[in-house]
Amino acid sequence: MKLFETIKKMGHEQIFFCHDEESDLKAIIAIHDTSLGPAMGATRLWPFASEEKALQDALRLSRGMTYKAACLNIPIGGGKGVIIANPENKTDKLLRAYGRFVQKLNGRFITGQDVNLSVEDVRTIRSETNYVVGVSEKGGGPAPVTARGVFLGIKAATEFCLRTQELDGLKVAVQGLGNVGKNLCHYLHEHGVKLFVSDLNRENTEYIKHLYGATVVEPNEIYCLDVDVFAPCALGGVLNSATIPHIKAPIIAGAANNQLEDEQIDSMLLESKGILYCPDYVINAGGLINVYNEMIGYDEENAWRQLKNIYNTLMEIFIRAKQEELTTHEASKRLAHDHILRAKKLRECVAK
């Protein structure tokens, strides 16, 4: 990878390579854009196949955080931390060493919990730094808020695409019934939606079938259903050249991160099939709204009010995409860039 060429193209400000001899820590902290505020991004621990793959992950995910916050007008920037390690080799010493690096950035980077780190691990990191979010009891965890945001996103999409304000009687296929998926099923059922669900874990599907009378389908069948909305709430990369041809739902609106396997190709493919895709980093921004509110002093009413922005922002993206003949993916990127540019101009005016 030509490092400076890559970060110039992607728009990153700074990359930190962190090494600690004693704990054998190898970590990368990527700071994408701090025009709107300090860079925030959770830290994941993963046995990356190569250092280049770890760097790519940090670069891509930190840029995603910038876009997410910018689209929703949340005054923070985009960052991401990756620790290159096997989860079996995760030690307190390693986590504390990482925490000391975060502390050295003095608030320029604020982090939290992601893949292979538990809330307990994040508390260990916090023992060395003040710049950690998502460990407080006050927010009640991000998943219910994320699910509520996805629910509001589904409302925006059905209103725009199906011209209906009522969800009653609509059919929604939910892939993945973990922390977010099960909460989403609750909100949808409350509004009279007929649920179709899949999960690799049979206990999860039986639970949702029992609670909400959902129809359970095999994991590979979920794409092919004749439903109004497909809600991916499991893994990334599920929208690709193998799955998209089977999708009959006119709307895709779910919580999973990085749903498009190839952002450019797959967003065009969805567009060509007339499918309305809700950009994942916008519709799943409830988690970020939750941690941001924890950072500024949690006020539930405030957090739930900000969630409504997910509905408004998605509407803005749908309208812009239609007017400018763009994919919704491209329209959301342009919206984020507009908000960042406006913030930069405002700062220049204040400095003059």
Residues interacting with ligand NAD, by CB under 6 A?
Answer: 142-143, 146, 175-181, 198-201, 204, 219, 233-236, 255-257, 284, 287
Q: How far is the CB of 233 from ligand NAD (least distance, A)?
A: 5
| Strand-pair partners of 17 | 28
Measured from the CB atom, the residue of 16 and 281 that comes closer to ligand NAD is: 281
Measured from the CB atom, the residue of 65 and 105 that comes closer to ligand NAD is: 65
Q: How far is the CB of 57 from ligand NAD (least distance, A)?
A: 13
Q: How far is the CB of 258 from ligand NAD (least distance, A)?
A: 8
Tell me the residue number closest to ligand NAD, measured at CB: 178
Structure tokens at 28: 């990368």
Structure tokens at 278: 């809700």
Q: How far is the CB of 231 from ligand NAD (least distance, A)?
A: 10
CB 16 within 8 A of CB 28: yes
Measured from the CB atom, the residue of 125 and 255 that comes closer to ligand NAD is: 255
Q: Which residue has the tokens 């407080």?
A: 136
From the number of C-beta atoms within 10 Å of its C-beta (0-12, 13-18, 19+), residue 124 rates as: buried
The values of phi and psi at residue 160, to 5°, are -70, -45
Structure tokens at 228: 């109004």
The catalytic residue among 80, 155, 182, 333 is 80
Return the number of other C-beta atoms located less than 10 Å from residue 16's C-beta.
18
Q: Reduced to 3 states, what is the DSSP secondary structure of residue 30?
A: strand
Measured from the CB atom, the residue of 96 and 287 that comes closer to ligand NAD is: 287
Residue in 126, 119, 68 with CA at minimum distance from that of residue 102: 126
Q: How far is the CB of 199 from ligand NAD (least distance, A)?
A: 4
CB 153 within 8 A of CB 279: no
Residue in 218, 283, 215 with CA at minimum distance from that of residue 254: 283
Measured from the CB atom, the residue of 34 and 146 that comes closer to ligand NAD is: 146
Q: Is 9 a catalytic residue?
A: no
268 DSSP 8-state letter: H
Which residues are known to be catalytic?
80
